[in-house]
Structure 1
Amino acid sequence: MQMNDQRDINAPRAEVWAALLSADVLKECVPGAQEVTGSPEEGFEATVVQKVGPVKATFKGQVSLTDMVEGESLTLSGEGKGGAAGFAKGEAKVRLEDIPDGTRLIYDVEAKVGGKLAQLGSRLIDGFAKKMADQFFENFQSVVEGPADEGSEVAEAEGTDEASKKKGWFGRLKG
Structure 2
Amino acid sequence: MDMQGSRTIAATQQQAWEGLNDPEVLKACIPGCDRIERVADDRFNVGMAVKVGPVSARFAGRITLSDVQPPERYTLAFDGQGGAAGFGKGTAKVQLSPAEGGCQLDYTVQAQVGGKIAQVGQRLIDGVARSMAEDFFKRFDAQMQQRYAPAAPAEATEAAAAPTAAPERSTMAPWLWIAIAAVVAAAGYWLLR
Q: State the TM-score bracket (shorter-chain normalisation).
A: 0.7 to 0.9
Preserved contact between residue 23 and residue 39 of structure 1 (Cα < 8 Å): no
Q: 1:79 to 1:73 in 2, by over 3 A?
A: same
Preserved contact between residue 40 and residue 64 of structure 1 (Cα < 8 Å): no
Question: Pairwise mapping of residues 1-175 of structure 1 onto structure 2 (< 5 A)?
Answer: 1-38=1-38, 41-146=41-146, 152-155=151-154, 157=156
Cα shift at 1:90: 2.6
Cα shift at 1:135: 2.2
Cα shift at 1:26: 0.9
Give distance in 1, aligned partners of 2:106 and 2:8: 9
Return structure 1 stretches of 4+ with deviation > 6 angstroms: none
Preserved contact between residue 40 and residue 65 of structure 1 (Cα < 8 Å): no
Preserved contact between residue 11 and residue 148 of structure 2 (Cα < 8 Å): no
Q: 1:133 to 1:77 in 2, by over 3 A?
A: farther
Q: 1:145 to 1:136 in 2, by over 3 A?
A: same
Of residues 19-28 and 129-138 in structure 1, the stretch that sits farther from structure 2 once superposed is 129-138
Preserved contact between residue 53 and residue 124 of structure 2 (Cα < 8 Å): yes
1:20-44 alpha-carbon deviations (Å, 9 max, x no partner): 1111111011110011111561411
Query: Aligned AA for 1:14?
Result: Q
Q: Structure 1 length as normaliser, TM-score? A: 0.82
Cα shift at 1:74: 0.7
Cα RMSD for the two superposed structures = 2.6
Preserved contact between residue 3 and residue 109 of structure 1 (Cα < 8 Å): yes
Tell me the secondary structure at the aligned position of residue 146 of structure 1: helix
Tell me the secondary structure at the aligned position of residue 89 of structure 2: strand
Preserved contact between residue 50 and residue 58 of structure 2 (Cα < 8 Å): yes
Give distance in 2, aligned partners of 1:31 and 1:49: 8
Preserved contact between residue 146 and residue 167 of structure 1 (Cα < 8 Å): no
Tell me the secondary structure at the aligned position of residue 125 of structure 2: helix
Tell me the secondary structure at the aligned position of residue 128 of structure 2: helix
Aligned residues: 161
1:99-122 alpha-carbon deviations (Å, 9 max, x no partner): 121111111111211000111111
Unaligned runs of 5+ in 1: 159-165, 169-175
Preserved contact between residue 46 and residue 63 of structure 1 (Cα < 8 Å): yes
